[in-house]
Structure 1
Amino acid sequence: MPHDPIDQARRLAHERFPDALAVILAGSTALGRATAGSDLDIAVLVADGRETYRETLRFEGRLVELFVHTRAGLRDLFAVDRAGRRAVMQSMYATGLVLVDVDGEAARARALAEEDLRSGPAALGPDAVEAKRYALTDALDDLCDATDGFERQAVAGFVVNAAADLLCDHHRAWKGSGKWLPRRLLEADPELGAVLLDAHARVGRTQDPAPLIETASAVLDLVGGPLREGYRRTWRGAAEPVTAGS
């Protein structure tokens, strides 16, 4: 009989982190979406002076992703996620299942996470939006011209990611990658996001890029339109790539 994942998470927390200040079980298990193969995403708040780290391990046959941090480490992780416009750790604390809460530590961390989520990410600066408009415009030109099926599919993947990025920024909404791309996109714009995702899927099913080109162009129109001639970006050193897709 398979182990209950929540019970497994409790046992892991008790065995490996008996002095934890807070332990949060997040991800699909906390949201009731777990399958037999789902891993456990566990955030662990430890006392100051300890390490902040991420570790992957296997516990009782189940894969576990551990996110271990001090109070200062958690503030740093929140700041990194705000800068990246992803709010991954904030979502873990805001929606996860509290397994350990010493003296209200989990509740305080959750309050900070919820405040970040309510505020939303900072808007991209004009230069960043311009660079992303140029990159998406260029990719759409490539998609229009693509005759090789593999290349068409690869460019379509870039287009849906770039359009989703711009659409989320347009709505001041958190973005995502991987399985979180459609989730975040649909949160940001349920109508246009769904059309964009369906148009991308149709490229694979029918090899017809026209709906994706049309929908991504509509996203571009929301943020200033296509950008080709007239685009100029100054290189400011090795720390800042000059490529349009950066």
Structure 2
Amino acid sequence: MKRFDPCKAAELFILNDFPSCQGALLAGSVVRGEATETSDLDIVIFDSNLSSAYRESVIEFGWNIEVFVHNLTSYKEFFKSDCERARPSLPKMVSEGIVLRDSGFLDLIKQEARDLLEKGPEAWSAETIRIKRYFITDALDDFIGCIMRAEEIFIAHTLAEMVSEFVLRTNRQWIGTSKWILRSLKNYDEKFAYKFVEAFDAFYKTGDKNKIIAMVDDILQPYGGRLFHGFSLGK
């Protein structure tokens, strides 16, 4: 099927599938100029006639389309839950989205999203940091002691997720998963992001664990270093 221009495809999709909606935004990689051959269209719909929010995936006009449908209040709960988990998916889509339809309220919602993104996530408590230190230490010990290559690969993956989360949250930065781990790290500190990738890349290519071990110890050191002795949970 012919692949339409992304904005044209989004406009046709809205006209066909949500003709009575009061607001619509096109967001995602096509808006940021980062689209690839497998990118989809992220479309946010606002329709006051809906009783609840939902998400749906369709293929129309040559595009995979992810549509996030809200009434004029349901988005607020999603903003709240996204921010609580420090992964502001909907606020980011709304803030960066290109307006395709607006009955006069989208400026206010886009400003809500921008304000939340600028504020950043809530700071971790000392207890949360302590717990995270323990579990990172546990994974690091497993990584250091492991002698089976297949197991090392998966432990390294776990460490990458845990350590990136620790760095970002202790600095009150938004986190992400998959490709958004790297993007979040770059947004925080490009030099650190490069060092992070270099350490894990060296391990995956050569099996050398030293850069990962040194990096994790450097990250934990300001918070008391590795934690095992004396740790308890629920006592």
TM more than 0.5? yes
TM (norm. structure 1) is 0.90
Taking only aligned residues, the RMSD between alpha carbons, in angstroms, comes to 1.5
Q: How does 1:96-175 map to 2 (within 5 A)?
A: 96-103=97-104, 105-175=105-175
Please state how far the C-alpha of 1:106 moved relative to its aligned partner. 1.6
The answer as to whether partners of 2:43 and 2:68 remain within 8 angstroms in 1 is yes
Distance in 2, Cα, partners of 1:189 & 1:168: 10
Task: Name 1:244's counterpart in structure 2.
Answer: none
Distance in 1, Cα, partners of 2:50 & 2:101: 20
Distance in 2, Cα, partners of 1:222 & 1:8: 50
Letter in 2 for 1:123: A
The answer as to whether partners of 1:24 and 1:43 remain within 8 angstroms in 2 is yes
Distance in 1, Cα, partners of 2:136 & 2:43: 36
Please state how far the C-alpha of 1:36 moved relative to its aligned partner. 2.8
Deviation >6 Å, runs of 4+: none
Task: Name 1:19's counterpart in structure 2.
Answer: 20
Instruction: Flag structure 1 segments of 5+ consecutive residues without an equivalent.
Output: 236-246
Greater shift in the superposed pair: 68-77 or 194-203:
194-203
TM (norm. structure 2) is 0.94
Q: How does 1:3-14 map to 2 (within 5 A)?
A: 3-14=4-15
Distance 1:65 1:49, change over 3 A: closer
Task: Name 1:240's counterpart in structure 2.
Answer: none
Identity of aligned residues (%): 28
Distance in 2, Cα, partners of 1:179 & 1:52: 26
Instruction: Flag structure 2 segments of 5+ consecutive residues without an equivalent.
Output: none
Tell me how many residue pairs correspond in the alignment. Answer: 234
Q: Say if 2:109 is the partner of 1:83.
A: no
Specify the SS of the correspondent of 2:174. Answer: coil
Distance in 2, Cα, partners of 1:96 & 1:216: 36
Distance in 2, Cα, partners of 1:205 & 1:142: 19
Please state how far the C-alpha of 1:59 moved relative to its aligned partner. 1.1
Please state how far the C-alpha of 1:49 moved relative to its aligned partner. 4.5
Letter in 2 for 1:216: V
Distance in 2, Cα, partners of 1:66 & 1:49: 14
Distance 1:38 1:231, change over 3 A: same
The answer as to whether partners of 1:176 and 1:185 remain within 8 angstroms in 2 is no
